[in-house]
Structure 1
Amino acid sequence: MHIPSVASAARARLRHHAILGSFLGLVLAPTLAAALYLFTIADDQYTSTVGFAVRSEDSGSALDFLSGFGGLSGMPASGTASDTDILYQFIQSQELVQRISDQLKLKEIYSKPSFDPVFAFSPEDEIEDLVDYWKRMVRISYDSTTGLIELRVHAFEPRDAQIIAQTILGESTRMINELSAIARADATRYAREELDKAVERLREQRVAVTEFRSRTQIVDPSADIQGQMGLLYTLQEQLAAANIDINLLRQTTQPNDPRITQNERRIAVIEELIQREREKFGMGGDTDGKASDYSTLVGEYERLTVDREFAEKSYLAALANYDAALADAQRKNRYLAAYIRPTLAEKSVYPQRGLLTLLTGGLALLLWSIGLLVYYSVRDRR
């Protein structure tokens, strides 16, 4: 019974040595390697901080009452939160990285360390790799409740970090200006289209009135008809006077008196003229079947006048609505407000060598502990 006890103690010592060896190899060695790399190889990183928010100017207008002219167009309500969301995605996009890379040569800036396989960027990598690396070196913080964006830009030189932050701010301002211009164009596009239609409609109606006047040689049928009515009234008065004269002659002279014949001819001529004038007004008996009488001309002219007046009112309403939409769009202008200008670092804060060493050691210890627990769990089941 004594010999098995001695053998069991020997196996325990071997197991303990194996556990100690695994601890040294899996926990202590990675921690020391990480510390050696961080404190002797990794280059210092400097940060530049910049903070900004999208703001929108919005004020009332004395032209707001003109919106009752038909609601042809209006500036849609715009929330700066949605603009900030767009800007948040734009800062992380390949488009921005490409723009800044073209201006500042990002690959050269981020590959300045002579040997740093972890934190430095390889200049032979493609733009997609640069975008992934960009997200590591440009840390973005976004508060959706306040709409504030704060960036912490890393670089291996203080001035490089500040220049990159300034360029990001400039490109972000450019993006917001583009969004503002697009919003203004959208706000006035429909009003402009309606104004163009109203102008074209008014032009067509004025051309129709001009063609009517050229065809009929009448500037204003209302004024012309007054003159014709005056002539008709004069002829009727002359006809009445002639009838009175002929009746008097018939009562006081012989039937073959030449003055009676002369008055009869005068009455016939006056009646013929009256008939012609009445035919012009559409009041006569037989006409030539053409739409040339005054009643037809007046009806056509009144229709053209009504259409022209409606086109003029539509034009005035469209013009007022366009002016109101344009003024409203100008007032609702977006701009980028920087509450933290790009800073210039005086000392290196990153990489956080002590923290990263502790995290490496802690992670290695956690993994080693989990493996040890799994080992003992499997061993106990045998």
Structure 2
Amino acid sequence: MSNYLYFTKVSSKMSGIIRPAGASQYDVEAAAKGRWSAALYAYRWFLGLVILPTALVAAYYYLVASDQYESRADFVVRRAGANATGGAGVGQILGFSIGASESHSEARIVEDYLLSQDAVSQLRKEDSLVERFQRDSIDLLSRLRHKEPTPEDLLRYYNKHVTVEFDADKGISSLSVRAFRPDDAYALAKKLLSMGEAQVNRINERTSSDAVSAASRELAAAEQDMSKIQTQMTAFRRIHDDIDPAGTGKAQIGLVTELTANLAMAKANLAAMEGFVSHASPQYRALAAQVHSLEMQVASQSSKLASTGGGNTIATKLGSYEELGIRQEFAGKRYIAAAAAYQEALAEARKQQLYLISVVQPNVPVKSLFPERGRIVMTVFFSLAIAYAIGWLMVAGVREHSVSS
């Protein structure tokens, strides 16, 4: 009771300080409301142009916007015959040097393809691209709104969620895929990597097909020509029942030469005998008969070598066979040259081959990194605040100019 009397006395003494004497509680509350109304009215433009939009943006991103998960992968595109131009880091780890000048165009080819309409069309057919961005759990402003989007609209939406960046210093391309589910982001990133590798393989086929195909056709023609000539030579041996016409001709020439030498010796002996022995003697007759026999043999064997009337002579057969041999030798040289050109074309094609190597495989995201709510809200607030300050300064300058004038 004593404490109550004490606080009653103190409050009665301070009533003139806290509020005017005779003022009621209603009057105090009315004065406070008036001051708040005056403050709100004074800052109405700042509240309407800065605070209210910032609050709406914050409400959307913190209460409505769906979480987005990012899956990343790094890859390099290199040529098999790339010159070793130095380099460190990833190039040395992978066992080759990544030259910036040699990898620019190749990496750009894959980058352009992964962000192209062709890649979007393939993902739409093979990986349910549209369905992944139209799930019911995605908020209306973030999802792909059209059930059947046009290729242009889908490409525009796709490029907001898929990025490919090339680091010219390191020679590494970074693939980033954002989706509204972790497994969607991972699946799309993995699919895009395989599509990039398939595109590189198609480029390899197109670039190497012309040179290798031409060399292959030339090799096949040379092989066919050589096989045809070999068949003709086999048929020639079969028709003439002679497995080695060249050897037979040489043997025949040797035989004629030997018979001619024997004939010359026999004639010489017969001529020497004529001065000492009678023509009727048995010895002379025997030697004469031997000379006659040798003459007939030489004539017979010589007729087999060549005949003025043509016919199936050794000379004729050997000439035809030697012609086939010359053609076979030419075909063999052509085949050797074609085979060397084909091997060279293959080696050059291998040097020009492109390879896509995954440096970092796509990850399965666990935590959503997008949207960056705090950064977005603060960016909106400061942007609007700066715009408001500039506008306020301009309005104040106009007013000051109008008052002074």
* TM-score, structure 1 as length reference: 0.68
**Among 74, 78, 85, the residue aligned to 2:108:** 85
Q: Distance in 1 between matches of 2:48 and 2:228?
A: 92
Residue 156, structure 1, aligned to residue 177, structure 2: no
Say which structure, 1 or 2, has more relative contact order (CA 8 Å, 6+ apart): 1
Residue 18 of structure 2 is matched in structure 1 by: none
Per-residue CA deviations over 1:123-179 (Å, capped at 9, x if unaligned) read 422333222111101122211343212122211222322222222233334434444
Residue 36 of structure 1 is matched in structure 2 by: 59
118-127 vs 171-180, which deviates more?
Answer: 171-180
SS at match of 1:43: coil
Residue 73 of structure 2 is matched in structure 1 by: 50
Q: CA deviation at 1:223?
A: 1.9
Per-residue CA deviations over 1:8-38 (Å, capped at 9, x if unaligned) read xxxxxxxxxxx98776665555444333332
150-159 vs 93-102, which deviates more?
Answer: 93-102
Residue 372 of structure 2 is matched in structure 1 by: 352
Task: Flag structure 2 segments of 5+ consecutive residues without an equivalent.
Answer: 1-41, 84-100
Residue 171 of structure 2 is matched in structure 1 by: 147
Residue 243 of structure 2 is matched in structure 1 by: 219
Identity, % of aligned positions: 27
- CA gap of 1:231–1:338, structure 2 versus 1, over 3 A, is closer
Q: CA deviation at 1:207?
A: 2.3
1:232 is aligned with what amino acid? V
Task: Flag structure 1 segments of 5+ consecutive residues without an equivalent.
Answer: 1-18, 61-77
- CA gap of 1:373–1:310, structure 2 versus 1, over 3 A, is farther
- CA gap of 1:359–1:306, structure 2 versus 1, over 3 A, is same
Q: CA deviation at 1:183?
A: 6.0
2:143 is aligned with what amino acid? A
- CA gap of 1:374–1:195, structure 2 versus 1, over 3 A, is farther
Q: CA deviation at 1:115?
A: 6.9
SS at match of 1:351: coil
Q: CA deviation at 1:373?
A: 5.5
RMSD: 4.6
Report if the CA contact (8 A) 1:108-1:123 is conserved. Answer: no
Residue 266 of structure 2 is matched in structure 1 by: 241
Per-residue CA deviations over 1:328-378 (Å, capped at 9, x if unaligned) read 76788654433333223333321122332344455556767479869989x
- CA gap of 1:374–1:178, structure 2 versus 1, over 3 A, is farther
Q: Distance in 1 between matches of 2:240 and 2:230?
A: 16
Q: Distance in 2 between matches of 1:115 and 1:219?
A: 86
Residue 195, structure 1, aligned to residue 195, structure 2: no
Report if the CA contact (8 A) 1:139-1:152 is conserved. Answer: yes
Q: CA deviation at 1:103?
A: 4.0
* TM-score, structure 2 as length reference: 0.65
Residue 228 of structure 2 is matched in structure 1 by: 204
- CA gap of 1:84–1:251, structure 2 versus 1, over 3 A, is same
- CA gap of 1:199–1:342, structure 2 versus 1, over 3 A, is same
Residue 99, structure 1, aligned to residue 122, structure 2: yes
Report if the CA contact (8 A) 1:31-1:360 is conserved. Answer: yes
Residue 127 of structure 1 is matched in structure 2 by: 151
How many equivalent pairs are there?
341
- CA gap of 1:59–1:317, structure 2 versus 1, over 3 A, is farther
1:164-313 map, 5 Å: 164-179=188-203, 188-236=212-260, 237-238=262-263, 240-241=265-266, 244-245=269-270, 248=273, 252-253=277-278, 270-271=294-295, 273-282=297-306, 287-288=308-309, 290=310, 293-313=313-333
